[in-house]
Amino acid sequence: MSDFAKTKSIFHLPEGVIYLDGNSLGPLPKATPDNIGNMLTNEWGEMLITGWNKADWMGQPSRVGDRIGKLIGAAAGSVVMGDTLSIKVYQAVSSALELNSSRKVVLSDNGNFPTDLYMVDGLLKSLDAGHELRLSDPDKVEESLSEEIAVLMLTEVDYRTGRKHNMKALTEKAHALGIIVIWDLAHSAGAVEVDLEGCNADFAVGCTYKYLNGGPGAPAFIYVAPRLQDKIRPSLSGWMGHEAPFAFDLDYRAGAGIERMRVGTPPVIALTALESALDIWDMVSMADVRAKSIELCDLFISEVEARCPELELNSPRDGENRGSQVTFKFNEGYAAMQALIAHGVIGDFRAPDNMRFGFTPLYIDESDVRAAVDILADVINNKLWDKPEYKQKARVT
Amino acid sequence: MSDFAKTKSIFHLPEGVIYLDGNSLGPLPKATPDNIGNMLTNEWGEMLITGWNKADWMGQPSRVGDRIGKLIGAAAGSVVMGDTLSIKVYQAVSSALELNSSRKVVLSDNGNFPTDLYMVDGLLKSLDAGHELRLSDPDKVEESLSEEIAVLMLTEVDYRTGRKHNMKALTEKAHALGIIVIWDLAHSAGAVEVDLEGCNADFAVGCTYKYLNGGPGAPAFIYVAPRLQDKIRPSLSGWMGHEAPFAFDLDYRAGAGIERMRVGTPPVIALTALESALDIWDMVSMADVRAKSIELCDLFISEVEARCPELELNSPRDGENRGSQVTFKFNEGYAAMQALIAHGVIGDFRAPDNMRFGFTPLYIDESDVRAAVDILADVINNKLWDKPEYKQKARVT
């Protein structure tokens, strides 16, 4: 069995479904229910409060963080888990702004995921100190860099198009201008090779329910470069980031290193689900996953373009400049995606007209890609989408 | 079977253990593993991304919030779940400070749980606008109120002593002086009767892993009085609090009502555990729980005082002024608690010398109280604590 046939066999994949939306929510690893069941019954149930030490729940945010660190080029002790990506964005931006306090501009691009922009907007309104959130087009980021910019915050892979920024080049250019850089790896971690240390990144954040298969609403991660960790003041200064959480001192003293980015009590059940899903990365290399992902995406593009001329590619054609997803534009994309889902191929839709498909070699292979294109071609070329039930807009996830 | 015999039977309680630490981490409800297993396999596993709508994961934070609302005197639509208590404190304080922006003082007491104070400290440092966090003694809060105070933030029940503030009287007095009041219900929700509406409370926050039995690190809740909801600007303005999260607009527009206090993607697995644990509240009334809790605490106090003269009560003697816990001071309290745990009675220790015991009628009865005192008397009167392995300080939870 090939490595990817092995990894595919460890996921729970519903009968009759080709799942091309792992870029939104990864599927359930088969081992997860038992691992959680074990944690519930044998740890929480039997150890009760003593589980914090006996089962080392307390060490879980760092332990899991280190495992994710290996997938994104981060040294042990530089990644910690908790909260949600939105909260981690807030922590990173507020810390970065204080490190670069003589400057007042946060630069991002208008392809960034909205919650990142919303969190900055909320932070800047709270600070009420004359900051500006400035957005460039994604392809104009480099020319928008200047010594006015305090913080550059980018999502490496665009959630709609899969367009991938050049992390190393942009970080280098930004650093030369005294800018602190925050990378959102939501669509990168587990999808593409990331080398935070090699890029000399300052901060990175990401979620774990997409390519890391941690389950709906799984905890987020934050990376802080070791050279910065002890210089930052946590804005969200919770007791778990305190130097001595169980001394119950009245005054806050930031913990050592990455520990200070912890906030409240760790979400043990959710972290157990995630920890269980990370075992899969012992079976494959990130380089192999990336190479296979590009192959699958290339195959999908060539097949769709050959068979569905009405669809227009809205992703970079060169795999090196693309994440692990492919987007096609189609005027009736919303209805077409509903029809496609009804016919057993799950992708998703992003306004105004993007049909988005994620490809994850861990559980998607060439035969899935070909079968999905067969159904897509049927939906598009035979106008199967042209029914009222597909056109009616429900709440979209 | 009495109501409480019924509720006791639905918890997983380890053999040979009397658990008096449900005020720190409630025990596992027997139904929780199956309920989570079902969510994992039949919802996440089978529905994949469509679970957000089909299984209404998206509505979970409000749905669960409404159930908790019933336990704390809050109307439907005024409580929402997410994140941790530390984050919810931050949201409440930052919103309250903006509502009362002409004033610069946050008043709390030095008996408050440290993370609440740490979060305010971090917020005020970020704002850098001349705010002050002022602490009074718990019994001097009322006389410390003045028109200088913007926000009064108190934990209703003191985590060390169980001393209970008078929520209604303090809120009324604070309101008369134009102060906004935030109540932390960490040791109240599920433990004592709370009537947020009857007290005309402004904000309340709380965790769910203590008396609500949601599991280690379970999500927190926030209450905002309906009259204030549409006036507040969320500082943590995440996409799930947006008016239209799936429009993916670049600009943030706060959602209606309590929804705007949502931040990132909801933690579905953790919320499923919590939701499962809330079923128990259909079997009992909060008034009966409170009455029984006072009986159990009174019994414990009288038995310990009769049999362990070296221990000194450090909780209010009058049950009406006390939460659902009892604390005794003892010089060798740390070692005594370790010995007690080794002998099958789990309580906990809070520096410098507090032995803390929680009483939860849902699964603790008179016979447990008497058996626990038997063991405690043995530990104290026969100096069973006087062994090196009990005196060695490990990390304390």
- What residue type is assigned to position B87 of the chain? I
Angle between helix B366-381 and helix B286-307 axes, rounded to 10 deg:
30
* pLDDT above 60 (res B395): no
Q: Is the ipTM of this complex over 0.90?
A: yes
Chosen from A25, A88, A334, A341 to mutate, greatest number of chain B CBs within 10 A: A25
Radius of gyration of chain A (CA): 22
Q: How many residues does chain B have?
A: 397
Question: Residue A269 has which token pair?
Answer: 């059940």
B40 closest CB neighbour out of A36, A52, A266: A36
Mean of per-residue pLDDT scores for chain B: 97
Q: Tell me the two tokens of residue B390.
A: 């009990």
Look at residue A397 in the predicted model and tell me its pLDDT: 45
User: Per residue in A74-133, pLDDT tens?
Assistant: 999 999 999 999 999 999 999 999 999 999 999 999 999 999 999 999 999 999 999 999
Conformational region of residue B362, where left means phi above 0, alpha means psi within -120 to 50, and beta covers everything else: alpha
Could you tell me which of B167, B173, B119, B185 has the C-alpha nearest to residue B147?
B173
3-state secondary structure of B14: coil
Give the number of other Cβ atoms within 10 Å of residue B1's Cβ. Answer: 8
Chain B residues with CB inside 8 Å of A184's CB?
Answer: none
- B35 and chain A in contact, CB less than 8 A: no
Judged by a CB distance cut-off of 8 A, whether residue B54 touches chain A is no
CA A256, A259, A265, A271 torsion-angle sign? negative
Nearest to A217 among B40, B85, B265 (CB): B265
Conformational region of residue A217, where left means phi above 0, alpha means psi within -120 to 50, and beta covers everything else: left
Cα dist. B164→A121, B18, B193, B196, B212 in Å?
A: 39, 25, 12, 15, 19
pLDDT, position B396: 46
Of the candidates B33, B94, B269, which has its C-beta nearest A126's C-beta?
B94
Q: Per-residue pLDDT averaged across B228-252, rounded?
A: 95
Answer yes or no: are the C-beta atoms of B215 and A44 closer than 8 Å.
yes
CA distance A260 to B287: 41
- In this structure, the strands spanning A180-184 and A149-155 are parallel
- What is the H or E stretch that residue B52 is in? helix B51-54
**Selection from B385, B381, B333, B382 nearest residue B357 by Cα:** B333
Cβ–Cβ below 8 Å for B252 and A53: no
DSSP states of B273-335 = HHHHHHGGGGSS-HHHHHHHHHHHHHHHHHHHHHH-TT-EE-S-SSGGGB-SEEEEE-TTHHH
State the Cα–Cα distance between residues B179 and B107, nearest whole angstrom: 10
H or E segment at B47?
A: helix B46-47
CATH class of B3-29+285-391: alpha beta
Residue A66 neighbours by CB distance under 10 Å? 18
Asked if residue B196 has pLDDT above 50, the reply is: yes
- Most B CBs within 10 A among A126, A249, A349, hence the mutation to make, goes to A126
Per-residue pLDDT of B309-365, as tens digits, reads 999 999 999 999 999 999 999 999 999 999 999 999 999 999 899 999 999 999 999
DSSP type of residue A254: B
Q: Which CATH architecture has domain A3-30+285-391?
A: Alpha-Beta Complex (3.90)
Nearest to B187 by CA among B208, B215, B168, B201: B208
Across the interface, whether the CB atoms of B50 and A236 are under 8 A apart is answered no
Query: Are β-strands B18-19 and B345-346 bridged in parallel, bridged antiparallel, or unpaired?
Result: parallel
Contact A397 B264 (CB under 8 A): no
Taking only residues 326 to 345 of chain B, the set having a beta carbon closer than 8 angstroms to any beta carbon of chain A reads 341
The verdict on A247 touching B (C-beta cutoff 8 Å) is yes
**Residue from the list A87, A268, A270 with its beta carbon closest to the beta carbon of B236:** A87
Test B217 with A271 for CB contact under 8 angstroms: yes
Cα–Cα distance between B217 and A267 in angstroms, integer?
Answer: 4
CB proximity list for A171: less than 8 A, separation 6 or greater: A181, A183, A199, A200, A201, A202
Distance (Å, whole) CA A377 – CA A384: 10
Cα B292 to Cα B287: distance, rounded to the nearest angstrom: 9
Task: Give catalytic residue positions of B.
Answer: 113, 184, 209-210, 356
Dist. CA A58–CA B396, nearest whole Å: 11
| B267/A270 Cβ within 8 A | yes
User: Taking a C-beta distance cutoff of 8 angstroms, is the pair A192, A74 a contact?
Assistant: no
A248 catalytic residue (yes or no): no
Tell me if domain A3-30+285-391 and domain A32-282 are identical in fold: no
The gap between the terminal CA atoms of chain B, to the nearest Å, is 35
Q: Are residues B49 and A346, on separate chains, in Cβ contact within 8 Å? A: yes
Of B109, B174, B164, B104, which Cα lies nearest the Cα of B136?
A: B109
Residue A201 contacts B where some CB pair is shorter than 8 Å: no
Q: Closest Cα partner for B353 from B335, B377, B371, B340? A: B335
DSSP A163: B
Instruction: Using alpha carbons, select from A74, A5, A72, A101 the residue that is nearest to residue A227.
Output: A74
* Contact call for A215 and B44, based on CB within 8 A: yes
* Cα(B80)–Cα(B86) distance, integer angstroms: 15
Pick from B235, B230, B223, B236: which is nearest to B194 by CA?
B223
Among B183, B186, B225, B219, residue whose Cα is nearest residue B204: B183
R_g of chain B, CA atoms, integer Å: 22
Instruction: Provide the β-strand partners of residue A151.
Output: A106, A180
| Most B-contacting residue of A118, A120, A235, A357 (CB-CB within 10 A), to test interface | A118
| Among A49, A63, A54, A47, residue whose Cα is nearest residue A274 | A63
Encode chain A (397 residues) as per-residue pLDDT tens digits. 788 999 999 999 999 999 999 999 999 999 999 999 999 999 999 999 999 999 999 999 999 999 999 999 999 999 999 999 999 999 999 999 999 999 999 999 999 999 999 999 999 999 999 999 999 999 999 999 999 999 999 999 999 999 999 999 999 999 999 999 999 999 999 999 999 999 999 999 999 999 999 999 999 999 999 999 999 999 999 999 999 999 899 999 999 999 999 999 999 999 999 999 999 999 999 999 999 999 999 999 999 999 999 999 999 999 999 999 999 999 999 999 999 999 999 999 998 999 999 999 999 999 999 999 999 999 999 999 999 999 987 554 4
The pLDDT of residue B393 is 74
Per DSSP, A261 falls in state: G
For residue B316, how far is the Cα from the chain centroid?
19
Output phi, psi for B361, to 5 deg: -60, -20
Boundaries of every domain in chain A: 3-30+285-391, 32-282
B238 touches chain A (CB under 8 A): yes
**What CATH number is given for A32-282 in this structure?**
3.40.640.10
Q: What is the pLDDT of residues B169-190, one digit of tens each?
A: 999 999 999 999 999 999 999 9
Q: Is B226 within 8 Å of chain A by CB?
A: no
Place of tokens 């003045």: B146
pLDDT at B87 over 50: yes
* Interchain CB distance below 8 Å, A266 and B217: yes
All residues at 6 or more sequence positions from A221 whose CB lies less than 8 Å from its CB, including other chains? A65, A68, A79, A80, A81, A88, A189, A205, A206, A207, A208
CA atoms lying within 13 Å on the CB side of residue A218 = 32
pLDDT at B397: 45
What pLDDT, on a 0 to 100 scale, did the predictor assign at position A1? Answer: 74
Within an 8 Å CB–CB cutoff, is residue A19 touching chain B?
yes
Q: How far apart are CA A150 and CA B144, in angstroms?
A: 41
At A60, list the tokens: 């879980």
Which positions ≥6 away from A374 have C-beta within 8 Å? none
The Cβ of residue B237 has, within 10 Å, a number of other Cβ atoms equal to: 26
* Cβ-Cβ contacts under 8 Å for A95 (sequence gap 6 or more): A203, A224, A232, A233, A234, A235
Give the DSSP letter of residue A26.
P
The amino acid occupying position A271 is: L
Look up residue B276 and give its two tokens. Answer: 């499962």
| Interchain pair B237, A48: CB under 8 A | no
Give CA–CA dist B91/B338, Å, rounded.
Answer: 37
- Quick one: residue A322, left, alpha or beta (phi over 0 = left, psi -120 to 50 = alpha)? beta
